[in-house]
Amino acid sequence: MTGTSTYTLTLLKPDGTIISTPLQINNGLFSWSWTIPITATAGSSQIIGTDRKSVVSVNPSENLYGIYRITISSEYGRGELFFQVSKNPQNATEISPIAIETDKTEYVTTDVIKVSGQVVPEINAAAKEANAMVQIIVFSDKGQQAYRADANVNAGGQFHISIPLQPGVWKSGTHKLYAQYLTANTRTDFKVTDPFTTSSGKLQVFMTTDHDKYLPGQTVLITGRTSYIISINTVDIAIGKSDDVIISEGQIMSKKGNVLPHATASFDQTGSFSYDYAIPTTASIGNYTVVAQVPFGAYKAFFEIVSQLPAENVLPQENASQSNVTQNTQPLTILPDSIGPVQKPMNPNMITEKTGRISTPLIPITLAAKSIGNKTYFPIELDGLLRANLGDENNVNLKVSLENGTCIIGQDSNCMVSASTIKGNVLYEVVKIGNQNFFIGYSGTGARLEQFSIIPTNANDVIPDGQWNVEIIKKDQTSRFYYQVTYAAK
C-alpha cells in the first residue's frame, strides 16, 4: 500500500450493520482491531410467518454468530476477507457459503418452526447489488414436497423464515429442509410428530379444470378442494406435458430433469382454491397435466391443448324417462368426498360436460337424456361453482331454482337449502324435490368460491328432464359461473 490514496476498512456484520473506519498507512502497513461483543444489543426482532399471520420472535444473541466480511478499499482497488463467530469455534474449521438451522430438532404439529441461516452474499453483476433470496424447500420422509418459500437475505447475508405446522396436514416423520442460494445448497433435518387423529377418512385434494380442451392463448381455470376442511394455507401448482411430467424427490420436473415452473394458490376458509393458468400462445398441441402439491400428497387434473375447438355437441334429445319412484331395494348413491365440480374418472358409461366463464346473472341449465351411438345417457349429477373477486365474497351469491320458481339453494328463508350443508365430516343433506330425494351439498356464502352439487340419493335414479335456473345475486360486481353435468348410461 503506497501513494497518497486514502484507504477505508468496512466491517459488515451478519445482521447487516456496518462499521467503517479510515486506515492509517505506515510504510505500506496498517493495524486494526475490533473486540467481538460478549452479548448482543438488547432488544428482539420478529419474523412474520409465510402465512402472514404467525409472528415469531428471534433471539438477538443469534446475530452475534455468523460470517463477518472485512473490506479494504481505495480508489485503486479493494480486497476482502472473512471470519466467522460461532458457539463452538473449534468445530468450525472452514467457512461455508451457506448455513441453515432450525430452532429445535423435534416439533409437534401445533408448533411454528423458526429457520435461520446465513449466506456469503454475491453481487449480481447486471444489477450491481447482492442477490437477496434463498429458496427453502421441505420434503417429508416419503419424498413429498411439504413446503416451499423464498427467504429474504439482509445486507449481512442473514435470513429468517417461519414455517407454521398444522395438525392433519404435516405427517409424523423425519423431514428434510433444503436451502439453496445461487449454486450453493445445504440441508438439515427435523422430526415432526402429529399427536392428533382424525376420523374424516383419507385426506386428499379434488381438482378440475373449467373445460377439457383449450386453444393456445386461452386461460384455464383450475379449482380444487380438500376432502374435508382443515387448516392449510397454500397449494403449489405446476403444469406440463402429460407424457413428460414426473415427480422426483418431491420436485415436479420434466423427464430431462428440468424443474417445471410453479405457482402458489391460497386456500379459503372452506378448503377451496382457484388458479388461472394462461396458456402461452406458443404452447404445443397435446395433453397436459396439472399437479397440485400439498404437504400430504400430490394430486392431478388434466386438459388438452388443441388447434381447433370441437363444435358444440348437438345430440338428439330423447324423451326417454325412467321411473323416479323410490324403491326400498334401490341402492344408495355413493356420495363424493367434495362439493362442486371435480375431475371425473374415465368411464365408457359416463360422460361429463363443462360450461364455464359465464358472467351473466341468469343462467338456464336444461337437463335431458341424450343418445350417443347406441347408448342413452341420463343426467345424474349437477355441479356448480361461482367465483367472485377478492372483496366481493359477501356481496355476490348464487340461487338455484326449478323452472316453476321453487328455490332449492339460496339465501332466502323459503329456499330448501339456505346455509352451508357442511357439518363436521358430513357434506350433504337429503332434500325431497317433488317425489324424489336428492343429496344436496352447498359450501355456503362468504368465500370466493361458492359451490354446490345435486345428486339423486338412489343410484338407479336420474335427474328428471327439465330446466334448472341459476341466478347470480349481485349489483355491478364481476363474477364467473361454471357448471358441470355428469351423464351415465342406463
Domains 8-193 and 205-305 share a fold: yes
**pLDDT tens series, the chain, 490 aa:** 555 568 899 998 888 888 999 988 888 888 899 988 876 554 444 444 444 444 445 454 456 778 888 999 888 888 888 888 877 777 766 788 888 989 999 998 888 899 988 888 776 555 455 567 899 999 988 888 888 888 988 888 889 899 988 777 788 899 999 999 988 889 999 999 987 655 456 778 888 888 888 999 999 999 888 877 677 888 999 999 999 998 876 778 888 888 888 899 988 877 788 899 999 999 999 999 999 998 888 899 999 999 988 765 433 333 333 333 333 445 666 777 788 888 877 788 999 999 988 999 999 999 999 998 889 999 999 999 999 988 898 899 999 999 999 999 999 989 999 999 987 667 899 999 999 999 999 999 988 899 999 999 988 899 999 999 999 999 989 999 999 999 999 7
Tell how strand 407-409 and strand 106-108 pair up. unpaired
Asked whether 7 and 23 are in contact (CB, 8 A), the reply is: yes
8-193 belongs to which CATH class?
A: mainly beta
Domain residue extents for the chain: 8-193, 205-305, 350-489
Topology (CATH level 3) of domain 350-489: Jelly Rolls (2.60.120)
Sign of the CA dihedral with 193 first, then 199, 202, and 204 last = negative
Q: Which residue has the cell 350433504?
A: 428
How far, in Å, CA of 471 to CA of 326, rounded? 30
Residues constituting the chain: 490
CATH number for the domain whose boundaries are 205-305: 2.60.40.1930
pTM of the model: 0.52
Q: Which residue has the cell 367434495?
A: 338
Residues 6+ apart with CB under 8 A from 61: 39, 40
DSSP secondary structure code for residue 479 in this structure: E
Instruction: Tell me how crowded residue 306 is: count the other CB atoms within 10 A of its CB.
Output: 14
φ and ψ at residue 56, rounded to 5 degrees? -120, 130
